[in-house]
Structure 1
């Protein structure tokens, strides 16, 4: 929703969608606001893992277990069971399912499987974002005054106007733009802790081709999966930035991460948001 600062300030039910790279401060902002008032915290990544990819995550784990005959027998006769204990703060099962493209002997996922899971994640994230209106209503019935959609960093990759319009119709979209210092920290984190990521299909195809040629490799199965993530992350960051900017320009507002990190409480966060709306 495109609102004036005054109208947003006087709203009795504030609904926000937080847009930006993972690690830019979205969850930090949500927690600051929640300390002051009653907010329903909706996590897109949690919804993806707990609802739309849950069965596929469990099936994948079971396939690994069945490689051991002893464990396979216990699983098949229901002597043991597997559960997905995903939480807002622990999304490891989703990351493990998504995987990293590359050599299976180095922990990589075969490219065919990797691409299929990327498509599954795309579809799941689309559904999770389209679920936001129903969760806003659910939050109201549960007595929550306000609502925060803590969206995944790949929201800008959906390129889905239905999703963006739905979010804009029901929430104020707030883009947290990473400062140069913040960008450097994100890249450094990717170097030390490379993690599974979502890539648009064309971007992934292009980057894999460049990486293979650059490293004189023939097949994706020869790629060290962690090295590829380290190499591609800065390129992914640059790829996403104009997408975030375009969504914010058309549907929402922009605040800077450094300004957010200086905020110590909800009042200071709101002043930052009001300033972006003026």
Structure 2
């Protein structure tokens, strides 16, 4: 008997031959997979085929040689999936004066498509979308995938499955162990508890990241919060470095000519856009065109209002986090254990909005191109969005 606790969490009997990696690591989704026989799944999919498609298409578990295999990778249940890429990217603040304009060309690497004509003529189009959450990255990616020729790679989904899936599930199990009936079932290996994370529902990942503050209001200690932030940073670096491999696999295995990487809003926290040797940005720019979806002040105000109504966990650089934390404690005259978790993340979100804009702008200036959120909202088909990218290349020429 399957018991749904929420749309993001399932508790159901453990199958006899369940493996932890079965539900980890699918970081990509394609449009219309060919029909094929499938073994019974250990995940309850309900009426929606989306998770099945993600599992079938991505095969994102990593094999021992560090390359994604075309079959699920089996790992011991008590062993966390290892990161396959070393942590990279500086932790310092962005230094907008680091590289004089006369030292480097317009972008640190030649754009993958030298002109609008080159983009239009390219038989394989590869993009990475970046910018603040809520401006259309996932909407555009879903639209492109929905028309059949685009392979959709979600960085956040990859983080929440391949790299942090066991951490998330273990947190659920810690809570379940506090409930005697669930504890007995877990200890007898009678049930399985796992997240039901999808491209459109990242609640398990957000829940794990949490918010710092008063434990009576579901707050985490600052030390635990910083530990989870570090885990997310490492996972995000690894997931970004996986993107070029998936771009190749999309064509080699599934025959998809086009590829879109749907990055998370915190990409600017794990790269230095003003470092021409940044390993993540160089790897991405060699494989795809980086496209910033730029919002206006009106968009920023709306995102803040949306966040005020429903504050969510965020991911920050440690130096930024500690600066916000110290300022919040001083302004509110409270101790760490007295902090209202929602009040703090609202406070930090406003600052993050301001801090990330120049970082995104530097990424676009040094590594890619820019489109506006209004332009993206008006592009309602792959053809119109491809035309918009061509316009962005013309503007950047």
Which TM-score applies when normalising by structure 2? 0.68
CA contact (8 A) 2:172 2:194 kept: no
Match of 1:9 among 97, 101, 120: 120
1:145 deviates by 1.2
Match of 2:365 among 231, 245, 249: 249
- Partners of 1:236 and 1:197 in 2: how far apart? 9
Select the structure of larger CA radius of gyration. 2
Partner residue in 2 for 1:215: 332
Match of 2:284 among 161, 167, 181: 167
Counterparts in 2 of 1:60 and 1:35: CA distance versus 1, 3 Å: closer
- Partners of 1:30 and 1:9 in 2: how far apart? 19
1:88 matched to 2:205? The reply is no
Secondary structure, aligned partner of 1:40: strand
Identify which of structures 1 and 2 has the higher relative contact order when contacts are C-alpha pairs closer than 8 Å and 6+ apart: 1
Matches for 1:169-248 after TM superposition, within 5 Å: 169-219=286-336, 221-248=337-364
Partner residue in 2 for 1:64: 175
1:192 deviates by 0.2
1:52 deviates by 0.3
Matches for 1:30-109 after TM superposition, within 5 Å: 30-109=141-220
Partner residue in 1 for 2:266: 154
Higher mean C-alpha displacement, 259-268 vs 150-159: 259-268
Higher mean C-alpha displacement, 10-19 vs 62-71: 62-71
1:176 deviates by 0.3
- Partners of 2:363 and 2:245 in 1: how far apart? 22
- Partners of 2:172 and 2:284 in 1: how far apart? 33
Secondary structure, aligned partner of 2:193: coil
1:32 deviates by 2.9
CA contact (8 A) 1:35 1:266 kept: no
Q: Which structure carries more helix by proportion?
A: 1
Deviation string 1:226-268 (CA, Å, 9 cap, x unpaired) is: 1111222111001111111111111100011011112222222
Counterparts in 2 of 1:36 and 1:79: CA distance versus 1, 3 Å: closer
Deviation string 1:57-100 (CA, Å, 9 cap, x unpaired) is: 11111111111233212101111111222110111110011001
- Partners of 1:267 and 1:183 in 2: how far apart? 28
- Partners of 2:245 and 2:379 in 1: how far apart? 31
Secondary structure, aligned partner of 2:311: coil
Partner residue in 2 for 1:127: 238
1:35 deviates by 4.1
RMSD of aligned alpha carbons: 1.2
- Partners of 1:11 and 1:91 in 2: how far apart? 33
CA contact (8 A) 2:159 2:239 kept: yes
1:107 deviates by 1.4
Deviation string 1:36-69 (CA, Å, 9 cap, x unpaired) is: 4411100000000110001111111111111123
Secondary structure, aligned partner of 2:191: coil
Counterparts in 2 of 1:271 and 1:130: CA distance versus 1, 3 Å: same
Any stretches of 5+ residues in structure 2 without a counterpart?
Answer: 1-109, 273-277
Partner residue in 1 for 2:255: 143
